Structure 1
Amino acid sequence: MSAGPDVSPRPARNGRVVLVCVGIVAGMTGLSFAAVPLYDMFCRVTGYGGTTQVASAAPSAAIDRKVTVRFDGNVAPGLGWKFSPETISMSVSVGETKLAMYKAKNVSDKPITGTATYNVTPNQTGAYFSKLQCFCFTEQTLQPGEEIEMPVAFFVDPSIAENRDLDDVDEITLSYTFFPAKSQKSASAAGPERPKS
């Protein structure tokens, strides 16, 4: 009578399957942590999703094309601030450097630290909207009742004229939203922070 099939390779095969599954889970976990910084880098490079560009210098000359830049300011729930642009809109020559001011006020009875995110619409213009100075992603601490002005220096890159799909764009909206900072600082320890210039 035959002894039957040999089943000894099966535990080795199961071990390989477990090892592959653990490797896949570890790889997916690593990719999930890398996804946010990689997506952020992709958006900054391409302007995807209305992400603006950061410039170190303004263009040498403006071109004969005007756009209206509108300004928007929002506060996320849980942040006891008022936040708004001082000017609702301005006419800008493409390539011309302009300065816009926003105001923030802590309307609560305690020090609060906030940080802002931004985007522009239409989304396709993000690759051409460049900021020379901005308060975004910098934590701002305001004391109770304190009010500050926050400048944004920007320009619309003249290379927008080379994108024929954007010929009909004559209005761009720059929008900021302030959120509570992840780590609220003690105002007595840190003191109020000011926008970096």
Structure 2
Amino acid sequence: MTSATLSQKNRKIGLIFLGVAAAMLALGFASAPLYRLFCQVTGFGGTTQKVTAAEASKVRAAGSMISVRFDGNVAPDVPWTFHPERSTDTIQLGQRDLAFFVARNNSDKPITGTATFNVEPEQTGQYFNKIQCFCFTEQTLQPGEEVRMPVLFYVDPKIANDPNARDVQQITLSYTFHKAEDSPS
């Protein structure tokens, strides 16, 4: 084997390893958005589904009832009180329901927050559909301001056909408000 042939093979192997390293780096940067997309599509980890009003209008209520429990929290750096107006509601599968959460800014300056959410048990996430929600956008509360924030949702009747979720009697919808990245400290 000549020196030139050996040099070409080494260059080829080097380029292959460089390509693999670049692909791994790109996958590392793409993993968070890809995971978020996976959770939104499958409902994995209690991620709820987002639907349009037109999509929701095609769903028909079924005979079964389910209890929905509401939970509200704030991160330690958010000087708000945040809670649901009512702690539970019993709804018919496929029926739209409107729940309200109350948030109050207890500080002396405007605070912008963003809500993260999930449902438990996590296997119900793919059946919990939000039509409208305060969690879709950032919320800015002025000093001392108190607001009612709605969430319009339904639980897909297909849950009754899922062997992993059909025996669920209660779903918990939980929100936690965090300070938005661009919110003043």
TM-score (norm 2): 0.88
Q: Sequence identity, in percent? A: 52
Q: Which consecutive unaligned segments of at least 5 residues does structure 1 have?
A: 187-197
Contact in 1 for aligned 2:114/2:139 (Cα 8 Å): yes
Determine the structure 2 residue equivalent to 1:42: 38
Contact 1:58 1:95 (C-alpha < 8 Å) held by counterparts: no
- Per-residue displacement from partner, 1:132-174 (whole Å, max 9, x unpaired)? 1111141111111111111000111111122133231110000
Q: Mean alpha-carbon deviation: is it higher for 167-176 or for 56-65? A: 56-65
Instruction: State which drifts further: 47-56 or 161-170.
Output: 161-170
SS at match of 1:144: coil
User: Which residue does 1:163 correspond to in 2?
Assistant: 162
Provide Cα deviations, 1:5-57, integer angstroms capped at 9, x if missing partner: 96666555554444333322221121122112211111111111111111222
Q: Confirm whether residue 19 of structure 1 aligns to residue 18 of structure 2.
A: no
Structure 2: gaps of 5 or more residues: none
TM-score, normalised via structure 1 length: 0.83
Q: Which residue type is aligned with residue 32 of structure 1?
A: G
Distance 1:139 1:183 in 2: 10
Which runs of structure 2 are paired with 1:45-56 in the superposition (5 Å)? 45-56=41-52
The question of whether the paired residues in 2 share the 8 Å contact of 1:117 and 1:178 is answered with yes
| Partner SS state of residue 166, structure 1 | coil
Partner of 2:90: 91
For residue 100 of structure 1, report the CA deviation from its aligned partner: 0.4
Match of 2:24 in 1: 28
Whether the 8 Å contact between 1:58 and 1:155 is mirrored in structure 2 is no
Q: Separation in 1 of the partners of 2:24 and 2:148? A: 43
Is the Cα contact below 8 Å between 2:110 and 2:140 reproduced in 1? yes
Partner AA of 2:32 in structure 1:
V
After superposition, the Cα gap between the structure-2 partners of 1:33 and 1:160, relative to the gap in structure 1 and judged at 3 Å, is: same
Conservation of the 8 A alpha-carbon contact between 1:52 and 1:127: yes
RMSD: 2.1
Structure 1 residue matching 2:159: 3-state secondary structure:
helix
Q: Is it true that 1:147 corresponds to 2:146 in the alignment?
A: yes
Query: 1: distance between equivalents of 2:26 and 2:109?
Result: 39
